[in-house]
Amino acid sequence: MDEPDTAAILPGDVLGSTDDEASATDPGGVKGEEADVPTARFVRPPFTCSLPVTVEPVMFISMFALALQAPLSTQYLWDRISEDLGYNGSRRSECSNSSAPPDPLQKEVETLTAHWSLYISLAGFSVGLLVVPLLGSWSDFAGRRPVLIIPNLGMAVQVVVYLVVMYLKLPVVYFLVGRILSGLSGDFNAILAGCFAYVADTSDRRSRTFRVAVLEACIGISGMLASIIGGQWRQAQGYINPFWLVLATNLAAALYTYLFVRESVLTDPSAKLVTSRHHKAVWHLFSTGGSTTEAGGRVHRRNLWLYTLCFFLVVSVHFGCRELFVLYELSSPLCWGSALIGYGSAANNLAYLTSLLGLKIMQRCLADSWVGLIGLASNITGLVVFSVADSTQLMFTGYGLSFLFMAVTPVIRSKLSKLVDPSEQGALFASVACVESLCFLVGSGVFNSLYPATLHFMKGFTFLFAAILLFIPAGIIGTLQCLDQRREHRDSTAS
C-alpha cells in the first residue's frame, strides 16, 4: 500500500524529460534565463487534484477573503466611531447645489475613520516589509507550500481578533493587534510572492507571461465577486456573518494548499527561517543582478531596477486611480447613483478578463514587450478620456478603451522572473510584493492629495497626470526591447 509522503521526491513527479532534468541540475547545463523548460520538482501532497490548476485557487480564495474584509472593516470603523461620538447621520454623496456648511461632527467621523484606516494599513505594511522578504527568500529553500499556508492562517487569526472586537464591542485600537499578527505571518503579500514564484517554478519561458496573467485575472474576478457579495450581505445581516465567511475562506485556502498543492522546489529540511541570510539574498539580487549573471551582470542589474521602476509606476497609477473613480462618478457633472457605480466597477474589473484574452491572442505574433506597450497604450487612452468625461457615455467609453490595461503587469512580472535564477524566484517575488504594497500607500497618498488640489482648474487633471506618468514605463520597456533585439541580432550575425 502506498503511503503519502510529503518529503520524498517521486519519479513521476518531475516535470520535463531526463535531459531537461539533467540540464536543470547540472552546473554546466542550461539554466536561468536560457532555460526553456520548467526545472521544478514536485512533492506529493496528502491528496492529489486531477484538475489542471495549481495555485490559482489559492490566489482566488485568498483574494476573495481580502476583498470581502477590507471595505467591511472600513465601514465598521465608521459605524463604531459614529456611535462613540454620537453621530447619527448617514454617509451620502449627492449632486446638490446646496451651499450649506458640512456637519462638523460628520467631518470628525470622516477624519477619525481615515486616520484609523491609515494606522491599520501602516501597521501591516511596516511589519510585512520585514517579514515578506524573509518568507520569500526562505521559500527558495524550504518550499513554496509553507509560504502559502502560513499567511492564510495569519489572516485567519486577524479575522478572529476582528470578530472578538465586534462581539465584545472593544475599542477599535484592537484592530491594530489583528493587523500586526497578520503582518507577522506575511499577510496577503506573502501569498502573492508564493503564488507568482510557484508559477515561475512550474512554467517555461514561453508560457510564463500567460500563467502570470491568469493569476492576476484571479485577483480581479475574485475581488469583483467579493465586492458585490459583501455590500449586499452587510446591508442584510450586518458585519459579523460576512466576517465568518472571511475566516472560512482563509482556512479553506490553507487547507487546499496542504491537501492539493505539490511542492515546486527541492526543499532543504535544515533551512532556517529567522536568519539574515534571506534579507542578504534580496540585497544580493538587486545589487549584483542575481546568480545567473556572471557575464553581463551590470545589464541584468540595470534591467532588474528598470523593470521594478516600471512596475512601481504602473501599479501606483492603478491603485491611485481606482480609489478616485467612485469620487469622480459621484460628483457633478456625472452624478452617478449606486447602480451606475456598480456597473462602472464591473466594467473596470472586466478588464482583467479582456486583458487575459488579448494577451493570449497577441502573444501569437508579438513579443511580450510589445504586448505590454499595447496594454500601456490602452491604459493611457482610457485615462485621457476619463480626464475629460462629463457624461455617462464618455465615462463608459473610457472603461471600454481601457480593456487591455491589465496586460502590462504580467509582462513586467514575467520579465523580472526571467532575469533571475530559478533558486531566487521567492526572493524576487517577495521584493515585488513589498513594492506592490508600497505602491498602494504611495498611489493612495499622491492621488488622493492631488485630486482635491486640482479641482478648481480641471476636475479630471489627476487622470491626465496618471496618463503622463505611464509614458515613463512605456519608454523604458520599449527601449529595453529594442536593445535586446539589437543584441540578439549582433550575436546571430557574429555566430
For the segment 299-315, what is each residue's pLDDT rounded down to a tens digit?
Answer: 778 899 999 999 999 99
Could you tell me the CA-to-CA distances from 70 to 57, 188, 226, 327 in Å, in that order? 20, 12, 10, 18
- Domain coordinates of the chain in residue numbers? 45-89+107-266, 305-490
Q: Which of 208, 131, 180, 154 is nearest to 431 (CA)?
A: 131
15 falls in which pLDDT band (50, 70, 90)?
very low
Mean pLDDT lowest among 24-28, 210-214, 450-454: 24-28
Decide if 473 contacts 309 (C-beta within 8 A).
Answer: yes
Residue that wins the pLDDT comparison between 102 and 429: 429
Do 45-89+107-266 and 305-490 have matching folds? yes
Measured between alpha carbons, how far is 201 from 279 in angstroms, rounded to an integer? 21
Residue that wins the pLDDT comparison between 110 and 442: 442
- Look up the CATH number of domain 45-89+107-266: 1.20.1250.20
Question: Which residues, 6 or more positions from 169, have their beta carbon under 8 angstroms from its beta carbon?
Answer: 80
Is the per-residue pLDDT at 56 higher than 50?
yes
Which residue carries 550575436 as its cell? 491
- Compute the average pLDDT of residues 112-117: 81
CATH T-level topology, domain 305-490: Growth Hormone; Chain: A; (1.20.1250)
Residues in the chain: 495
Q: Exposed (0-12), middle (13-18) or buried (19+): which is 460, by Cβ within 10 Å?
A: buried
- Compute the average pLDDT of residues 18-44: 42
pLDDT attached to residue 162: 95
C-alpha cell at 295: 557575464
